[in-house]
């Protein structure tokens, strides 16, 4: 019998990867095993599962950036067990854990299904992110410099400026897990002016994060990535607070798939919605 009382909320780790991946695949999410593994490794003790007699029926993850900020992701309940309080219990387990760590600001990207639940828990909307997708056929000549290891500290530093917290662990893992080297843009003095990463996903390559000093540089980086991924399906989560008309994505043959609401608990900050951020690292990680 599907009884709420038999549901246990317990820490989730790499041993649960096949079950967690199965759950996200069932919902046609793009995250693959590497994405799950990265989340488990980045936050030991910070991911939780809902178990019914040992079977995984719900998940939530947390990613802690620096000492102040955390991102909540992979909030997912098996369709057969929704509207029975499991999502709320998972979220509370995640928030309790973050409180124990002294984290004051918590953010996430909400789907329309998740938004009311987060509002009940006190989250407020602070930005709109658009998921765009497409298969771009044209090849664009990549004029930027080839990736060199010496750019890595500047890339981490630029992301810290653009995102508002240190995400070195995440970036190192995204770079290591991808067959595509990062794209960088340099200014006239050879300083890093922006960068773009991309990695394979279950259904599509995910382009992001993309961060740049100016929208023109962000678009040049996007074109560079699209050129490398010609013929592949891609996803991009576009930060609309940048103030750039999303027509620029339609012009490149991409199609809008859906809206995500960026939501926050705790003090206001530009983390995840600063004008330097063009594309997210992922809805699960900001």
Ligand X SMILES: CC(C)(COP(=O)(O)OP(=O)(O)OC[C@H]1O[C@@H](n2cnc3c(N)ncnc32)[C@H](O)[C@@H]1OP(=O)(O)O)[C@@H](O)C(=O)NCCC(=O)NCCS
- 108 to 147: interface string for ligand X, x by CB under 6 A: --xx-xx-xx--x---------------------------
Q: Does 87 bind ligand X (CB under 6 A)?
A: yes
Whether 58 and 77 have beta carbons less than 8 Å apart is answered as yes
Q: Which is nearer to ligand X, 31 or 217 (CB)?
A: 31
Site residues (CB under 6 A) for ligand X, limited to 91-110: 110
Determine the Cα–Cα distance for residues 131 and 5; give it in Å rounded to an integer: 37
For ligand X, which stretch binds (CB under 6 A), given 86-94, 151-159, 174-182, 183-191?
Answer: 86-94
Q: Does 28 bind ligand X (CB under 6 A)?
A: no
Determine the Cα–Cα distance for residues 249 and 73; give it in Å rounded to an integer: 25
Q: Which of 82, 202, 233, 256 binds ligand X (CB under 6 A)?
A: 82
Q: Which is nearer to ligand X, 76 or 221 (CB)?
A: 76
Q: How far is CA 151 from CA 189, 190, 195, 223, in A?
A: 14, 10, 10, 20
Closest CA to 226 of 205, 247, 246, 209: 205
Closest distance between ligand X and the C-beta of residue 34, in Å?
20
Residue 256 φ then ψ, to 5°: -75, 130
Q: Which of 12, 77, 94, 254 binds ligand X (CB under 6 A)?
A: 77
Closest CA to 74 of 120, 119, 43, 102: 43
Q: Which residues bind ligand X (CB under 6 A)?
A: 27, 75-77, 82-88, 110-111, 113-114, 116-117, 120
């Amino acid at each position: 019998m599907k009884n709420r009382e038999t549901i246990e909320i317990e820490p989730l780790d790499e041993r649960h990867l096949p079950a967690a991946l199965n759950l996200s695949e069932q919902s046609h999410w793009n995250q693959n095993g590497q994405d799950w593994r990265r989340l488990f490794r980045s936050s030991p003790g910070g991911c939780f599962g809902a178990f019914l007699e040992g079977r995984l029926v719900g998940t939530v993850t947390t990613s802690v950036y620096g000492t102040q900020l955390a991102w909540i992701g992979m909030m997912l309940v098996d369709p057969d067990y929704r509207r029975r309080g499991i999502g709320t219990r998972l979220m509370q387990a995640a928030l309790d854990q973050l409180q124990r760590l002294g984290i004051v600001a918590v953010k996430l990207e909400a789907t329309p299904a998740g938004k009311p639940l987060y509002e009940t828990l006190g989250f407020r909307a602070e930005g709109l992110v658009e998921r765009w997708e497409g298969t771009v056929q044209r090849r664009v000549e990549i004029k930027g410099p080839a990736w060199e290891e010496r750019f890595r500290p500047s890339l981490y530093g630029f992301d810290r400026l653009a995102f508002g917290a240190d995400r070195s662990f995440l970036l190192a893992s995204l770079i290591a897990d991808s067959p595509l080297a990062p794209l960088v843009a340099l200014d006239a003095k050879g300083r890093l002016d922006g960068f773009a990463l991309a990695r394979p996903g279950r259904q599509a390559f995910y382009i992001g994060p993309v961060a740049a000093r100016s929208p023109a540089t962000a678009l040049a980086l996007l074109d560079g990535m699209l050129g490398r991924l010609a013929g592949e399906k891609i996803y991009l989560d576009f930060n609309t607070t940048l103030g750039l008309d999303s027509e620029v994505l339609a012009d490149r043959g991409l199609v809008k798939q859906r809206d995500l609401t960026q939501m926050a608990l705790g003090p206001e900050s530009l983390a995840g919605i600063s004008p330097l951020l063009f594309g997210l690292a992922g809805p699960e990680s900001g």
